[in-house]
Amino acid sequence: MFESAEIGHQMTKAAYKAAVPTLRAALLEAQISLFEKRKTPVVVLISGQDGAGKGETINVLYEWMDPRFITTLAFSEPSDEERERPPMWRYWRSLPPKGRIGIFAGSWYSDPIRERIQGEISVKELDARAEQINRFEEMLVDEGALVLKFWFHLTKDGQKQRLKALSADPRTAWRVTQWNWDRLKTYDQLQEVAGHLLRVTNTAAAPWVVVEGTDDRYRSMTVGQVLLAAIKQKLAETEPPRAAVAPMVRVDLDGRNVLSELDLSLALAAKPYKDELARWQGKLSELVRDERFKARSLVCAFEGADAAGKGGAIRRIAAALDARQYQVTPVAAPTDEEKAQPHLWRFWRQLPRQGQVAIFDRTWYGRVLVERVEGFCTEADWLRAYGEINDFEHEMIDAGVIVVKFWLQISQAEQLKRFKEREQIAFKRFKITEEDWRNREKWHDYQQAICDMVERTSTGESPWTLVEANDKNYARVKILRTLCQRLEAALEEKSPAASALDGKAVKKPAKQDKIGKPAPTNKSSKRKT
């Protein structure tokens, strides 16, 4: 990966001075066009060795372009707030909207590289992280983003000379610390790990651009020209490229499916309902106050037919919780701000901290339900959304989030009855709209989409609970009972995140002389990189 960046690329001062004005004008023109059209976000990753010019290059881009439309995000050690959520949370919430450029100094590659150098993860685990990154970047590109990844390379001697030169100059000496000199000692390990990771993440959707970092002028001009060419090519696209997606195929030859097999006659009388409601609300209140829940969080996802009783069920859950401990997020049509981001962005940013509960009234499944049926997205968009949703939920679960999903099902006759009741009751009239009546005409299409959703996203770690909701009493108790049972079972098991931390605490990595192979010594050390 690095051979072409070790041949001594240089650019003369005269050539650089002559080329900069033209490049700056073209970059500004492309940037303004990008902002005015608001058709794509640009994600720029600046990575590489210490002293290779990452900071200087970012400063040059700010000088050449309009800084009002650029955002730079610098990531180092995660904060307490970030540690209490899935690792990708802090990157998702920092994505630039359409029309803007986001420069990431430090990115989703930093932690896997550091952890591998320190011997905290194996090559197999590194490859698994790389596959997650590939799917994330492919999703960004499928959503219309331009992803540019730069790796600034220096030889070992070149890095040493750069650090010495920076230290000797009073204007830049502050940038070189003992930490940088310590990092130089891990140069060979970084080359091995970074070379491997760059190779397996050098995809067609988001390829790496390796730039020699020895000569400042050559490095800056290379990045500027690559950025300009990529933006111009993206602006010239009339339709974003779509990856091939297999068509949806269903086999229900006998007309039976997961919804038709539900017994919607199930009901619960008033007296037992009152007793069961109190029982499970008390149990839920006890579970969320459990000491073990302080290291976990809970996400409740509610979907269902119109008038199926989602709001009533949510209110019964909320009644068992401290108002300071939960947040209900009602999901409607995306706002302009949300439309400028990938479809999962607005859900990522609502994930709760540890010890907190997030309740979603409608969810990220809108992409494969209403957007699919109503034609608000393309077939390619909703077909790939199943995998993206599964990735999202598995990332939550891996971080210790307990995910519980409910689909509330009612019959067409029951829905019609509830619609008419809403029209007659003053404080419920706001719940019934022309859109609700219009959706009834597509009942069959929605039922088909629901069955597909359940089959493709009901996983072992995040299964769907289908709720027979013709009787509200029965539905509310089943939801509370299921929630308590899932929460109790999860608390009895250690979360994946906690288990990983325990493993690291017990097994300290030995001093490394080669990646993943302990050096022959009785002392254990953990070098900070």
Q: pLDDT tens per residue, the chain (529 residues)?
A: 777 877 888 999 999 999 999 999 999 999 999 999 998 999 999 999 888 889 999 999 999 999 999 999 999 889 999 999 999 999 999 999 999 999 999 899 999 999 999 999 999 999 999 999 999 999 999 999 999 999 999 887 887 887 788 788 887 777 777 767 777 777 888 889 999 999 999 999 999 999 998 899 999 999 999 999 999 999 998 876 666 677 777 667 788 899 999 999 999 999 999 999 999 999 999 999 999 999 999 999 999 999 999 999 999 999 999 999 999 999 999 999 999 999 999 999 999 999 999 999 999 999 999 999 999 999 999 999 999 999 999 999 999 999 999 999 999 999 999 988 888 876 666 667 777 777 788 999 999 999 999 999 999 999 999 999 999 999 999 999 999 999 999 999 876 655 555 545 433 443 433 444 433 444 333 333 3
Per-residue tokens: 32: 């303004």
75 vs 103: CA distance, rounded Å: 11
Determine the Cα–Cα distance for residues 201 and 107; give it in Å rounded to an integer.
13
Count the neighbouring beta carbons within 10 Å of the beta carbon of residue 132. Answer: 18
Helix, strand, coil % (nearest 5) of the chain? 55, 15, 35
Q: In Å, how far are 38, 361, 388, 408, 515 from 240, measured between CA atoms?
A: 14, 32, 18, 36, 41
Q: Which residue type, as a one-letter code, is found at position 374?
A: E
Which residue type is seen at 327? Answer: Q
pLDDT reported for residue 500: 55
Phi-psi region of 510 (alpha: psi -120 to 50; beta: other; left: phi over 0): beta
Decide if 95 contacts 136 (C-beta within 8 A).
no
Neighbours of 32 (CB within 10 A): 14
Distance CA 404, CA 301 (A): 6
Residue 402 host element (H or E): strand 401-409
Determine the Cα–Cα distance for residues 35 and 67; give it in Å rounded to an integer. Answer: 12
* C-alpha distance from residue 165 to each of 30, 152, 161, 172 (Å): 35, 17, 6, 9
CB 451 within 8 A of CB 363: no
Please name the amino acid found at residue 169. D
d(CA 264, CA 467): 9
157-194: buried (b, 16+ CB within 10 Å) or exposed (e) per residue? ebbeebbeebbeeeeeeeebeeebeebeebbebbbebb
Q: What pLDDT sits at residue 499?
A: 56
Three-state secondary structure string covering 247-304: CCCCCCCCCCCCCCCCCCCCCCCHHHHHHHHHHHHHHHHHHHCCHHHHHCEEEEEEEE
Cα 441 from Cα 294, distance rounded (Å): 46
Q: Is the separation of the CB atoms in 340 and 432 below 8 Å?
A: no
Whole-number CA gyration radius for the chain: 27
Cα 187 vs. chain centroid, distance in angstroms?
31
| Rounded Cα gap, residues 499 and 495, in angstroms | 6
Residue 518: predicted pLDDT:
38
Instruction: Find tokens 């007793």 and name the residue.
Output: 275
Q: Are 149 and 158 in contact (CB under 8 A)?
A: no
Q: What is the pLDDT of residue 378?
A: 92
The answer to whether 394 touches 386, Cβ cutoff 8 Å, is no
Q: What is the mean pLDDT of the chain?
A: 89
Domains of the chain (ranges; CATH) run 3-236 (3.40.50.300), 270-493 (3.40.50.300)
- In single-letter form, the type of residue at position 341 comes to Q
How many other C-beta atoms can be found within 10 angstroms of the C-beta atom of residue 528? 8
C-alpha 527: how far from its chain's center?
30
Provide the pLDDT for residue 52: 84
- At residue 508, the pLDDT reads 41
- What pLDDT, on a 0 to 100 scale, did the predictor assign at position 400? 96
Pairing of strands 512-514, 517-518: antiparallel
Which residues lie across from 48 on neighbouring strands?
A: 152
Task: Specify the DSSP element, H or E, that contains 63.
Answer: helix 54-64
Q: Residue 183 has what pLDDT?
A: 72
Residue 28: partners with Cβ closer than 8 Å, 6 or more residues away: 64, 65, 66
Contact (CB, 8 A) for 201 and 195: no
Cα 283 to Cα 18, 208, 300, 500, distances in angstroms:
73, 52, 16, 29
C-alpha distances (whole Å) from 173 to each of 159, 168, 169, 308, 418 are 15, 6, 6, 65, 72
- CB contact at 8 A, 409 and 465: no
Cα separation, 89 vs 9, in Å, equals 38
With CA atoms as reference, report the closest residue to 135 among 398, 389, 497: 389
Tokens for 316, please give them: 């019964």
Enumerate the β-bridge partners of residue 152: 48, 211
